[in-house]
Every structure is written in C-alpha cells, then in structure tokens.
Amino acid sequence: MGHSNARQSAVSSVNAWKADGHPPVVEKPMTEYYGCNVFSDKVMQERLPDKVYKALCETIRKGAPLDPTVADSVAEAMKEWAIEKGATHYTHWFQPMTGLTAEKHDSFLAPNFGGPAVLEFSGGELVRGEPDASSFPSGGIRATFEARGYTAWDPTSPAFILENPNGTTLCIPTAFCSWTGEALDKKTPLLRSIEALSKQAVRVLKLFGSTSTTVSTTAGPEQEYFLIDKAFYHARPDLINAGRTLFGSKPPKGQEMEDHYFGAIPDRVLSCMLETEQELYKLGVPVKTRHNEVAPAQYEVAPIFENANIATDHNMLVMETMKRVADRYGLKLLLHEKPFAGVNGSGKHLNWSMSDDQGNNLLKPGNNPHDNAQFLVFLAAVISAVSKHGDLLRMAVATPANDHRLGANEAPPAIISIFLGDMLQDIVEQIEAGGAKSTKAGGTMTIGVTAMPTLPRDAGDRNRTSPFAFTGNKFEFRAVGSSQSIAGPQVVLNTIVAEALDNIATTLEAGMKAGKDLNSEIQALLPKIIAESKKVIFNGNGYSAEWHAEAAKRGLPNVPNAVDSIPDLISPKAVALFGKYGVLSERELHSRYEILLENYVKTINIEAGLTSEIATRQILPASLRYQTEVAQSVAALKGAGVAVPASQSGLLADLTATIDGLKSAIDKLDHASEHHAEGDTLTHAKYYRDTIIPAMNAVREAADKLEGIVADDLWPLPTYQEMLFIK
Ligand code: ADP
Ligand code: MG
C-alpha cells in the first residue's frame, strides 16, 4: 500500500537538503563590522554634542537622572544613525516575565498632512514607551485597574539595530514596570540587585583603601543547545509545542562512544555557527568559543564576559539570533533543558564575578598579602551567602524543564554546594583554624602578612559535578537551565552576596572605628564566617550517592523538583532579604511566585495534552496497523494449514497486550487531565507533578515499548537515532 508518513518524508527531505539559498556570508574582516549595529560609546561620542555626551555618561556610570533636553538630543542622534542604517521603525525591547524578549514596533513616520514624509523620534519616545502589553504574566500585579505597564529606557545597555532582509529596526533596551512602579520584567530587579551589591562591595573596598565608587558584577554565560534538522522537528508535534520529545526510545547508539564531544563540527552546523557569529559580532556580542558538546547534535557557545546587565541582554540576543539563523540552514534550535530523554541535557554555566570601577576582578586572588586579604574577604562573603541562601539559588533555576536535568547523570544535583579546589580548601581550613596549621605549600597563613600560594587554574582542578564552583577567578553556577534568562539567577546571587558583604562591612567598620587593625579584624572575622558556612563546601563527586547522604547529614537542602523549591521565594527569610536591599518587594515576590507555579502548571498541561494526542492519533493507529499485519500473517499460516509457531503467536499476544497497555494509559491520563484540582496554584502544581506526570510517563513507557516492536515503515515519529545522527 505504501503509506508515506511524516517521518518518511522528513528523512527524504533531510537527504535532499542543499546549502544554497542562504544569505552570503560577510567577507570583510571581522574588525570592520564588529559592533557596526550598536549605538556604542564611540558612536555617541562622535554624534552627540559634547555636553550631551558627558551628561549621558554620568547617567550611564552613576545613574544620574537624565535631563529631558539631553534625552531629546540623544533621540535625534539615535534616529539619524538608525535611519542611515536603513531603520524605518524603532522598538522598546524588554524582557517580560515570560523569560523571553518582547518588542512592539513603531514607525518613525509622523503625520504631515499632505506634505512629504517626516520622520520623528523625540526624547519622550526614547525614554518612555507605553506598549500596554497587558497580556504578559504579571502574577496578579496588574489584575485590575492598573492593567497597563510602561517601558523605561535603560541607558546602561546600548541600543542596537536588528536586521531583516526587508528593513531594519532600532531596538532600545528598556525596563518594563507597572504604573504603580512594580517591576514586571527581569531587567528591573537585575538592575536593582547590581546596585545593591555595588553599594555593599564599595563599603568593603573602602576599608582596603580603594577609591572605587561602584562595583559591577560580571557575567559570562556558556550556552548549550541542540541543532536538529527542521524536517524532523516539523514531524514531531512534541518538539514544536513542548520543545522536548515526549516519546522516543533510547537508540542503540547514544553518546557512549563519546565521539561527539569536541569533535569536528559538521559543515552545515559550522556554516550556521559562522553566520550566527557574524550577526552577533555586528551587534557587539563578543562570542568567543564554540564546540561540540557531549550529546550528539549538542553544541556550546560562550562569550567573553561583560558587565551583568549587558551580558544578560546579550545572552537573550544570542538565543534569538541562533534561532533565527538556524532556520536559514534548514535547522531548528532546541534550547530546552532536556529535549531527549536519556541523552545529556543543556545547561547554561553562569560565570560570575565582581569588578571594581578600575576593572579589577575582586575574585582574583592577587599576588601580594594585601590583595590576598581582600580576595579572601570577598570569597568568604560568597561562601557565606551561598551557605545561607542555597535554597534561593536552587529556586532561581526551578523550572519544570530543569527538573529533568538537575540530578540526572550529567548535571549538578539539586543540592547547592560550593567547590573550592584543594588549594583554596586548604587555605580556608587554615584560616578557620586561626592560621595555626601549616599550608600544603609550607608555612602558615597570616592575613595581610602571608602571600597566598598561587592557585592552579588548569582544567584538571575543575570539578564538573559541582553546581557552584570556584574556577580560579570567578564562580561558575552550573545549575542554570539552557533556555533560562540569566537575570533571575543573578538577582539572587547579587542580593545574597550584597547581604553577606553588608554584614562583613558592618563588623569591620565597627572595628576600624574602635581603632583596631584591619588585618587582625579580618583574621578574627573570617574563621567565624567559615565555621558557620563550611557545611556548603564540598570538593568531591556531586553525582555520588554518598554525597546525597552526606549533604543530608550536613543539613543542606535537597529539593529535587521545582514545585517544592518555588515556595522558598516567598519564605519570610526571602521576603526580608529582597525587601531589605530594595530588590523585590513582597508583592513583587508573590507575583513571581504565582508566575513560576502557573508556568509549571501550563507547561505540564500542554505536555499532557500533546502526550495524549500523539499517542492517540499517531502511535496507536500505527500500532493497530501493525497488529493487523501480524494477525493477518498468523491467520494466513493457519489458513495454509501450517502450525503457528509460538514465537509468532507470542508476538501477536505481546503486541496486543502492549497496545492495550497504551490505550489504558491514555485513558488514565485523559481522566487525570479532566480532573480539576480545587485550590490555589501550589495545589494545582502539586497535582500536575504527582498525578499528571506519572500518567504521562505511563503512556510514554508503553509507546516507547511499541517503538521497539512496530514495523519501521509504519512508525510515524522521527526516532532519536534519526534526529540525533542524521545531519
Ligand atoms: P572554562 O570554559 O574552562 O569554564 P573560561 O575561562 O573560558 O573557562 O571561562 C568561561 C566563561 O567565563 C567565559 O564566558 C568567560 O568570559 C567567563 N569569565 C571569565 N572571567 C570572568 C569574570 N571575571 N566574570 C565573569 N565571567 C568570567
Ligand atoms: Mg566553564
């Protein structure tokens, strides 16, 4: 009869893919186009009147309020620059709590009754936008009368041009707030947390004689992702609608040969990467490294670190640009944390540090006793912060998608611990012991007197199993999910470290007032901090069962799923912390709590619907067809008077039983989905976790078993083997 199903057409179209038709690559040297689509400092200096430029710099560096005439002048220059670049429209580009970016385009065109076209863009339009945008999640903040939000220009992140073959758009990074001043986005709390940390870090630096007036946080997110052929993607309703496969048995060949990691990048993928990078360079995004990751069809891109706000905007641009360009190469970008069960998932290692206003990295050990002392104080602050608020860091990565990844074999467990490495561990232990013990390198450690031994920075000392690792001059938070905005994790990190620095500064300042010596004050304070916090330090294998037992003994929280972690966002401890540093009010925290839980419920609900639909309309029919074929062949044997071998009647029986299992699992899932749990969002989320997910898993189990039995030519969904290995 020869059915041609979506899967078979997909396989043929992958084979037919040709490299022509995509836009030609830029042939100029990179230095000629790097940043060409950015309204950068250099462009501003060239195009703005001197006075305006200086005023704007004050705003950018110190947050000084912006004069409306300055805004007008900047808007005029920005408009002219954008129009020269072919822009017809501008948009306030913002990051609502969907975790994505949003834009609403307005034309520069102004009414000019009957006359020629006039293009306008005022300071007012630059500084504030009113996208309305009342359909974004607000977690109840905008439920009623104050339904509108407005966008406010963030002059600390440069405007840029987004290109399209048919025109370009000026994008202005903005914050998104309600009229009552509440943050409706990811950028606003990030900016507040950066400021909170800066304020406390400056107090500490001052004790060391620094004249820095601001401290910035720095971020370098290593982004993992999958690329698969578009034809396969389109034949998988689960990938299209849920971003991950809800069915698929493990292929005979997975990643066990480890032949993909750092392997040669396939040509089509490399072309796609090159074009992505060119686009990103034009936007001034400093992507630096690219390589194959552990799983087949998995890759990674990492930028050179930048200040946290810009790094966050840039990571959003990286994700969007990769998605856009992949399409031109017949590829689909998968940013989901676990697109394929049983295969490595994708994360985003968030490299994080702090830097003074001369660009000195505050987590760099330094090479003299004074710098070492300062380093140890900042290090102790981070250790103390993570020890006290590990629950919040865990919460910052709590999504239904990340639940598939955390604690699975290739990703850090849900237990937040810190890896320091042997040398630093040794130093910390000595400090706790009051400098009495001798170091591994020989001698004893006296703060402000002894220089620390040089810490190794080689990869050998890196513990890949730790969720939060010190890697020589920065921390690396490895539990962040690949599709997540890095804003949330940084908000937590910045705020908890601000609190720890605040406590340290308060103690040390009091000592200074009482005329004591700074180094001996530090020598007295650090052992206390370490004694209090050392339970969070763990240098061993984070994947091991022993660590789970040990962590429980140490009283470290181990919250393996998002639903149990999200409520930590509104604990009294969290409300006090975020309130004290002006990062998120109680109302703002509650809105985020609601949004996270709603997102959990919606995600699982969509997955459950897809599971039922695909199982009912694709897998069951294919299985029944095969059942008919087998039944017919058994009947034919009987008709010919041939004894039916047990293996063949057994196949029919097995098939029939598995199909029956599938159908009853679908019925059970449908029944569970129709049930409406009474209660608040948390109750709903728990219902989805405890009842719907197991029901989905039962459907998948039967379906994946059928994939191993049903004839290949009848199977409707592209298999793991095809999606991961046909490139
Ligand atoms: P590895 O890839 O071995 O983890 P790298 O030194 O290449 O180590 O760093 C990975 C990421 O960390 C890069 O994006 C890099 O820019 C970033 N990074 C380096 N130093 C800092 C820092 N001080 N603050 C934030 N990120 C940093
Ligand atoms: Mg790394």
Q: Which atom of ligand 1 is nearest to the CA of 305?
A: 16
C-alpha atoms less than 13 angstroms from C-alpha of 64 in its C-beta half-sphere: 13
Q: What is the pLDDT of residue 678?
A: 84
- Indicate whether residue 352 lines ligand 1 (CB < 6 A): yes
Q: What is the pLDDT of residue 644?
A: 95
* Tens digit of each residue's pLDDT (9 = 90 or more) over 644-654: 999 999 999 99
Say yes or no to pLDDT of 81 above 90.
yes
Tokens of 30: 């990179």
- Indicate whether residue 223 lines ligand 1 (CB < 6 A): no
Q: What is the pLDDT of residue 423?
A: 83
Mean pLDDT of 30-46: 94
Between CA 311 and CA 651 the distance in angstroms is: 57
- Indicate whether residue 361 lines ligand 1 (CB < 6 A): yes
Q: What is the pLDDT of residue 203?
A: 98
CA of 647 to the centre of ligand 2 (A): 53
Percent of the chain with pLDDT over 90: 70
* Tens digit of each residue's pLDDT (9 = 90 or more) over 547-568: 999 999 999 999 989 999 999 9
* Proximal ligand: closest to the CA of 349: 2
- Indicate whether residue 623 lines ligand 1 (CB < 6 A): no
Q: Is 420 helix (H, G, I), strand (E, B) or coil?
A: coil
Q: Which of 305, 350, 475 to mutate to test the pocket of ligand 1 (most atoms within 8 A of CB)?
A: 305
Average confidence score pLDDT of the chain: 90
The least confident of 68-72, 185-189, 292-296 is 292-296
Q: What is the pLDDT of residue 413?
A: 85
Q: What is the pLDDT of residue 706?
A: 98
- Indicate whether residue 303 lines ligand 1 (CB < 6 A): yes
- Indicate whether residue 302 lines ligand 1 (CB < 6 A): yes
Is the four-CA dihedral 167, 175, 306, 64 of positive or negative sign?
positive
* Tens digit of each residue's pLDDT (9 = 90 or more) over 161-210: 999 888 899 999 999 988 888 899 999 999 999 999 999 999 999 999 99
Q: How confident is the model at residue 1 (pLDDT cuts 50, 70, 90)?
A: very low
The least confident of 8-22, 349-363, 633-647 is 8-22
Say yes or no to pLDDT of 20 above 70.
no
Between CA 184 and CA 190 the distance in angstroms is: 12
The least confident of 7-11, 373-377, 559-563 is 7-11
Between CA 140 and CA 77 the distance in angstroms is: 39
Identify the residue whose C-alpha is closest to ligand 1 atom 14: 220
CA of 50 to the centre of ligand 2 (A): 42
CA of 345 to the centre of ligand 1 (A): 21
Say yes or no to pLDDT of 146 above 60.
no
Q: What is the pLDDT of residue 543?
A: 86
CA of 649 to the centre of ligand 2 (A): 55
Q: What is the pLDDT of residue 262?
A: 66
Q: Which of 315, 474, 497 to mutate to test the pocket of ligand 1 (most atoms within 8 A of CB)?
A: 474
Identify the residue whose C-alpha is closest to ligand 1 atom 3: 459
Q: Collect all residues with Cβ–Cβ distance below 8 Å to 265 and sequence separation of at least 6.
A: 273, 290, 291, 292, 299
Q: How confident is the model at residue 385 (pLDDT cuts 50, 70, 90)?
A: very high
Percent of the chain with pLDDT over 70: 93
The pTM (predicted TM-score) of the whole model is 0.94
Q: What is the pLDDT of residue 459?
A: 43
* Tens digit of each residue's pLDDT (9 = 90 or more) over 602-619: 999 999 999 999 999 999
First to last CA, the chain: 29
* Tens digit of each residue's pLDDT (9 = 90 or more) over 357-374: 999 999 998 888 888 999
Between CA 352 and CA 222 the distance in angstroms is: 11
- Indicate whether residue 490 lines ligand 1 (CB < 6 A): no
CA of 297 to the centre of ligand 2 (A): 19
